């Protein structure tokens, strides 16, 4: 008989899970009170990369996922993802040479460009540096649109989508048997918690203590502009990308400043930085800003794995990069019962999550 699964949360991670599980022949119910494509996923830069926060095991998962994005795009050209490359003139205070020295021995294609070549590659960039790094294999995805795409694919593969709110897990002894929702109790062989920053609360109902943080991230969005930049670009105080519809999304480091207390003034600062960073014939027009919370386990790394029989957790920052890998590899783990080497370092056991259930 087909294994039954409940996926709680239809952001980019839960929707990728639902699709892969349905494709693998599982009976899938995807539960979310909203059909918008995820809270964090709807407020994300969507830069796919393998340089962020990187010991080698994390690099390996990120790189695997980037290759999955490329493969998915080749099969589904309508997927809102493109491999547009990145230009780094700076990297969150880490010297570019360190980024280069750490990653190129692993085969990551980073290369140096001088000021002149940089101007040729991105002529509208008003940044004065002697050298920069480019990485042609990094990309850019619209995470909420990708979530909606994955959800549709899941439904086409036989998954059910239930617009409801999950409240707490159902247990029989030490086994998690499903979820209590606003619309009644749902039972399943495996319940997958993919509820972003809310995953900790749901895990708590299973007696699992999952240490999560939710750092805020402010992004501004412009109205459509003529093509100004083609890559994702990181400068000293701004990261930005231009979408195919011409809108530019940009965020930045506030040096520890609490932007969540005053996002309006943070947005004004970001827009001013953007205007000073790009040479545009027509002035850029501000559209709006979003303040998202990044679902971030306490040690910064994803939590992916089963902490108790019948339960599986998928919560992470960098979910835009990681969704295709997590969908595929976690589905493998759930359907075979075997741990996958690429996911092993991310198992929830590292937090000794088991509580007093
Ligand atoms: C500002 C910002 C910039 C970012 N930039 C990048 C980037 O450049 N590259 C990158 O890789 N990552 C980036 N990220 C991180 C990435 O966007 C997230 O890791 C990813 O979107 C998480 O997806 P998710 O599906 O886990 O969570 P979400 O998108 O938050 O989805 C969770 C879903 O669970 C649902 N839910 C919650 N509670 C319940 C419940 N009780 N019952 C049922 N459903 C429930 C919610 O409605 C929601 O739809 C960024 C995030 C932010 C905020």
**What stretches of the chain show up as alpha helix (H) in DSSP?**
12-23, 56-75, 96-103, 115-121, 143-156, 199-204, 263-277, 319-336
Residue 230 lies in a domain: yes
Range of the domain at 176: 4-43+144-211+297-353
Give the per-residue pLDDT at 54: 84
CA-proximal residue: ligand 1, atom 25 (nearest): 11
Q: pLDDT value at position 262?
A: 83
Regarding whether 318 and 183 lie in a shared domain, the answer is yes
Residue 173, phi then psi, degrees to nearest 5: 60, -125
Residue 328 lies in a domain: yes
* Residue 332 in domain: yes
228-255 pLDDT, tens digit each: 999 999 999 999 999 999 999 999 876 5
Residue 305, domain member (yes or no):
yes
Neighbours of 321 (CB within 10 A): 27
CATH number at residue 98: 3.30.9.10
70-129 residue pLDDT tens: 999 999 999 999 999 999 999 988 999 999 999 999 999 999 999 999 999 999 999 999
CA-13 nearest atom, ligand 1? 25
| Statement to judge: residues 248 and 308 lie in one domain | no
Q: Left, alpha or beta for 351 (phi > 0: left; psi -120 to 50: alpha)?
A: alpha
Q: Are residues 160 and 199 in the same domain?
A: yes
Same-domain pairing of 188 and 226: no
| One domain for residues 195 and 222 | no
- 3-class SS at 141? strand
Question: What spacing in Å lies between the alpha carbon of 40 and ligand 1's midpoint?
Answer: 3
Q: Which of 278, 293, 308 is the last residue of a domain?
A: 293
Return the best residue to mutate from 162, 169, 214, 320 for the ligand 1 pocket (most ligand atoms within 8 A of CB). 320
Rounded-to-integer distance, Cα 237 and Cα 256, Å: 12
Residue 71 lies in a domain: no
In short, whether 232's Cβ falls inside 6 Å of ligand 1 is: no
Q: What percent of the chain has pLDDT over 90?
A: 92
Residue 65 in domain: no
Q: What is the pLDDT averaged over residues 208-219?
A: 94
Whether 78 is covered by a domain: the verdict is: no
Give the three-class secondary structure for 273. Answer: helix
Q: Which of 242, 261, 293 is where one domain is finished? A: 293
Same domain, 186 and 230: no
Please state, rounded to an integer, the average pLDDT across all residues of the chain: 95
Ligand 1, atom 26: closest residue by C-alpha: 196
CB of 40 shorter than 6 A to ligand 1:
yes
Per residue in 36-83, pLDDT tens?
999 999 999 999 999 977 899 999 999 999 999 999 999 999 999 999
Is residue 144 in contact with ligand 1, taking CB distance under 6 Å? no
> How many structural domains are present in the chain?
2
Q: Is 166 in the pocket of ligand 1 (CB under 6 A)?
A: yes
Query: Structure tokens of 315?
Result: 């919560």
Ligand 1 geometric centre to CA of 29 (Å): 19
325 domain residue, yes or no: yes
Euclidean distance between CA atoms 106 and 54, whole angstroms: 12
Q: What kind and span of H or E run contains 218?
A: strand 216-222
Strand, helix or coil for residue 289: strand
Shortest-distance atom of ligand 1 to CA 201 = 41
Q: Which residue has the least CA distance to atom 12 on ligand 1?
A: 318
Specify the CATH number for the domain of residue 342: 3.50.50.60
- Give the domain-ending residue among 270, 293, 316: 293
């Amino acid at each position: 008989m087909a294994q039954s699964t409940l996926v709680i949360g239809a952001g980019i991670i839960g929707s990728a899970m639902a699709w892969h599980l349905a494709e693998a022949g599982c009976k899938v119910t995807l539960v979310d009170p909203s059909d918008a494509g995820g809270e964090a996923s709807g407020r994300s830069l969507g830069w796919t990369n393998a340089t962020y926060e990187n010991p080698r095991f994390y690099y390996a998962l990120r790189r695997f996922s980037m290759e999955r994005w490329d493969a998915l795009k080749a099969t589904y050209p309508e997927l809102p993802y493109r491999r547009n490359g990145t230009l780094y003139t700076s990297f969150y205070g880490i010297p570019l040479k360190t980024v280069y020295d750490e990653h190129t021995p692993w085969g990551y294609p980073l290369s140096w460009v001088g000021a002149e070549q940089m101007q040729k590659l991105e002529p509208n960039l008003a940044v004065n540096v002697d050298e920069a790094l480019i990485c042609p294999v990094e990309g850019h995805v619209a995470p909420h649109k990708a979530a909606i795409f994955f959800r549709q694919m899941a439904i086409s593969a036989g998954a059910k989508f239930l617009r409801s709110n999950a409240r707490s897990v159902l247990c029989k002894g030490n086994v998690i048997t499903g979820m209590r929702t606003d619309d009644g109790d749902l039972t399943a062989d495996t319940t997958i918690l993919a509820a972003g920053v809310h995953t900790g609360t749901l895990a708590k109902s299973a007696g699992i203590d999952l240490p999560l943080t939710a750092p805020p991230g402010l992004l501004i969005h412009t109205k459509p502009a003529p093509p100004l930049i083609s890559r994702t670009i990181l400068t000293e105080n701004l990261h930005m990308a231009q979408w195919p519809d011409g809108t530019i999304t940009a965020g930045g480091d506030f040096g520890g400043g609490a932007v969540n207390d005053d996002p309006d003034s943070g947005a004004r600062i970001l827009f001013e930085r953007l205007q000073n960073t790009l040479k545009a014939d027509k002035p850029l027009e501000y559209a709006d800003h979003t303040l998202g919370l990044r679902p971030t386990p306490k040690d910064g790394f994803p939590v992916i794995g089963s902490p108790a029989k019948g339960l599986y957790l998928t919560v992470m920052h960098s979910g835009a990069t990681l969704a295709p890998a997590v969908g595929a590899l976690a589905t493998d783990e759930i359907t075979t019962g075997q741990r996958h080497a690429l996911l092993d370092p991310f198992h929830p056991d590292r937090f000794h999550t088991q509580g007093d259930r």
